[in-house]
């Protein structure tokens, strides 16, 4: 319930009493589980992180496909993921915007997710055998982030619709390792 409310309504806009009411529990019950709203929000971002990592790993699994094909599949799956009925934007970007304090646990979880994605893209680009897998991973990270950042305002028919083509261009023109 917290996920739905925080994601669709906003972290700051939703209070603990509303989460409790929507969940059908007393606020005191919620406070027994989470000492504060900050703890509840951190748990929300941490749960979203786990689900995102699971999705990412499933889409890019080493199932016999070449790393190039696994990366292409990632951008295809991302486009499906950001359809308006299921996506308002990136929950981590939203958490970072609403909770700018780098010491806030939810902020740290969001940064951890972004760092992990960049690392995983680096692993996949390294497996492709390109000359500079870090550079390619950074470029692909920017493409992914651009989709999440633009889809809420410009929709899936805006720049997000071109992300797969841009990723493919980056992937196919990367200099091979020598």
Domain ranges of the chain: 45-173
Task: Count the neighbouring beta carbons within 10 Å of the beta carbon of residue 71.
Answer: 25
Question: So what's the pLDDT on residue 178?
Answer: 87
Q: Write down the mean pLDDT value for the chain.
A: 96
% pLDDT > 90, the chain: 98
Beta strands (DSSP E) in the chain are none
**CATH no., domain 45-173:** 1.10.357.10
pLDDT digits (tens, 9 = 90+) for 37-52: 999 999 999 999 999 9
Q: Is the pLDDT of residue 1 over 90?
A: no
| Alpha helices for the chain (secondary structure H) | 2-9, 16-23, 27-33, 37-59, 67-81, 91-98, 105-128, 133-154, 163-173
pLDDT digits (tens, 9 = 90+) for 109-165: 999 999 999 999 999 999 999 999 999 999 999 999 999 999 999 999 999 999 999
């Amino acid at each position: 319930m917290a996920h739905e409310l925080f994601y669709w309504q906003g972290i700051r806009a939703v209070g603990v009493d509303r989460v409790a009411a929507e969940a059908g529990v007393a606020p005191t019950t919620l406070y027994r589980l989470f000492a504060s709203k900050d703890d509840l929000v951190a748990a929300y971002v941490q749960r979203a992180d786990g689900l995102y990592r699971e999705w990412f790993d499933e889409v890019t699994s080493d199932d016999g496909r070449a790393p190039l094909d696994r990366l292409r599949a990632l951008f295809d799956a991302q486009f499906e993921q950001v359809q308006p009925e299921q996506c308002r934007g990136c929950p981590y970007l939203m958490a970072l915007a609403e909770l700018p304090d780098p010491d806030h646990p939810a902020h740290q979880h969001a940064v951890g997710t972004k760092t992990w994605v960049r690392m995983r893209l680096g692993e996949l680009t390294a497996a492709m055998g390109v000359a500079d897998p870090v550079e390619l991973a950074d470029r692909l990270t920017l493409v992914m982030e651009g989709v999440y950042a633009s889809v809420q305002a410009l929709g899936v028919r805006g720049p997000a619709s071109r992300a797969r083509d841009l990723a493919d261009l980056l992937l196919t023109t990367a200099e091979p390792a020598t």
